[in-house]
Amino acid sequence: MNLPNILTVGRILMTPFFIIFLFYDHPYAKTWALCIFVIAMLTDIYDGYYARKHNLVTDYGRFLDPLADKVMILSALISFAVMNVIPFWMVAIIIFRDVFVTGLRTVMSSKNMVMITSKIAKRKTLTQVLIIIFILLNLGSVSLPISWIGDFLQFSRQYQLIYYLTLSVTIFTLFTGFAYLYTNRAVIRQFIS
C-alpha cells in the first residue's frame, strides 16, 4: 500500500460519513457533507498526480481509483434521488452506463484486451462532480449566513436548475457511453468474433 492507494481507500471510507451527514437532521449537516465530498474529490486529483510523479502507478490503484470515484459519486446521486431532489430515472441511466462500461472493461481485461479510456470519460466524471457540488450547495446553503444565498435558492428553484443541469449531465453521461463503445468498436468486434 503506497500513499495514492491509501488516499483512494480513504475516499471509499469517507462515503458512509458523507451519506450520514447528507441525511442527518442538523442545520450544518449538508454543509459538512459538501466538505467531505470536496475533500474526497481533491484526494482523487492528488493521488493520481502523486502516483504519476513518483512512479507509483499500480494495477491495484488502476482498479481501485475509478471504483472509489464511482462509489462516492453514485452514492451521492442515489441519495439525492431518495431525497426526491433528482428523479430516479436519471440516476438509473447514469448507474447503467457506469456498470455496463465497467463490466465490459473487466471482461475485456480478463481476456487481455485493452480498451481505451478517452478524455471525454474524465469530463463525464467532472460534470457529475460539479452537479453534485451544485446540489449540495443548494441543500446546504440554507445554513450559511450569506445574504445572497436566499436569492440564489429562489432563482435555482424558480428555474428548476437542479433538474435541468442534472438532465444535461445524464444526457452527457449516456453520450460518453456510446462514444466509449464507438472508440473501442474494433476491440469489441475482436472480442465477439
Give the alpha-carbon dihedral of 98, 115, 40, 139, to 10 degrees.
-30
Give the alpha-carbon dihedral of 39, 69, 177, 164, to 10 degrees.
-40
pLDDT of residue 147: 64
Instruction: Find cell 452514492 and name the residue.
Output: 75
pLDDT of residue 48: 79
Amino acid occupying residue 138: N
Domain boundaries, the chain: 3-192
C-alpha cell of 2?
Answer: 503506497
Low-confidence spans in the chain with pLDDT less than 70:
60, 141-149
pLDDT of residue 120: 87
Give me the CATH code for the 3-192 domain, please: 1.20.120.1760
pLDDT tens-place string over residues 107-152 = 887 888 877 877 788 899 999 999 999 999 888 765 555 666 677 7
pLDDT of residue 1: 73
